[in-house]
Amino acid sequence: MAYRRELTECPPFTWDEERRYAEILKGESYTKCFISPIYYYIIHFGARRPSITSAVEVIDTDAEVFIRGELVIEAGDEEKVAEEFRKIITRGSGDELERPCTVTMIHKHEVDSKEVSHVHFICSTESFIYMSENVEKILKGIKRIADKYGIKEW
Amino acid sequence: MRKLEVLKPRVVGCPPRIEEAGERYAEILGGMPHTMCFITPIYHHVIDFGSGSVEIIEDGNVLIEGEVVVERRNLNRVVRMLRNIRTRSPYGELTERSCAVVEVHRHVEYGEEFFHVHFVCSPVSLAHRTENIERILKTIKRIADRYGVEELI
């Protein structure tokens, strides 16, 4: 069964939010509310060694695609991994190159007196036309990083 | 038009192409897929300010995307400032850098050069959602006030 995005009335709290956001940005605003399908994929995957903690979520709202997740790596590899995420390239709406991914947060854990880092990332690709191609490029990039730097958290 | 306030996210059956996409993604990552499909409200705020615009999309997650128009000499500073925006992580610390510059493109209007800096921000924490959105918007406003220019059309 296929679902479509459908415009609906907005609940009152969204108008308050709109006013607040427009006030901060001192701009002209408008708000739209939809009832929409969201396709939500979660993939737990093994890294260089099998891992239960590395995971990716692909959130497809039928208008935007948003990919986020985390990788477990050895402490000390954070800079290299962040750089690798910035190197993932997708195709923009005008055929220009996009760098859709960024590392948002890194937190460290100590497990059996060994330090590991959890690298959280987000990616958001814009083009509709290249959506499938872009999602696959991002996932392949993530897989490459996981194969190179990912570890299992014991 | 349907009334939104009575509607809540509802799990529905996934269309076949979605199952296929889930399998394909899992194959690329060499992992285990788990796919869910919802029908859900999405609140979409669009704010145009002189030198750019921002969209705030809320559907359980928050995604802020937009662009700001700047001059070449300020490009690197703007990119750095966007990357330096700090939001509160689910652990309560201001350690999350939730914004990325995804693309920069150049326009020439009446012989003058303008750069469009496209960014995306996605803070994770639900508990600090409002605070994080406001932090991001305030910094975008600061960047726009300092470096934003209006493109000649």
| Cα A117 to Cα B32: distance, rounded to the nearest angstrom | 22
| Cα B36 to Cα B19: distance, rounded to the nearest angstrom | 9
Does the pLDDT of residue A51 top 80, yes or no?
no
Which of A88, A100, A70 minimizes the C-alpha distance to A140?
A88
Pick among B3, B7, B39, B45 to test the A interface (most A CBs inside 10 A): B45
Contact A139 B118 (CB under 8 A): no
Does the pLDDT of residue B26 top 70, yes or no?
yes
Query: Which run of H or of E encompasses B128?
Result: none
Q: Which amino acid is at B105?
A: H
Asked if residue A4 lies in contact with residue A38, where contact means CB atoms within 8 angstroms, the answer is: no
Q: What is the mean pLDDT of chain A?
A: 87
Our CA-based measurement puts residue B87 at a distance from the nearest CA of chain A, in whole angstroms, of 9
pLDDT score recorded for residue A128: 81
B126 touches chain A (CB under 8 A): no
Contact B49 A6 (CB under 8 A): no
Evaluate if pTM is beyond 0.90: no
CB-based contacts of B78-83 (< 8 A; 24+ apart in sequence)? B78/B117, B78/B143, B78/B147, B79/B104, B79/B117, B81/B139, B81/B142, B81/B143, B82/B117, B82/B119, B82/B139, B82/B140, B82/B143, B83/A102
Q: What is the mean pLDDT of chain B?
A: 91
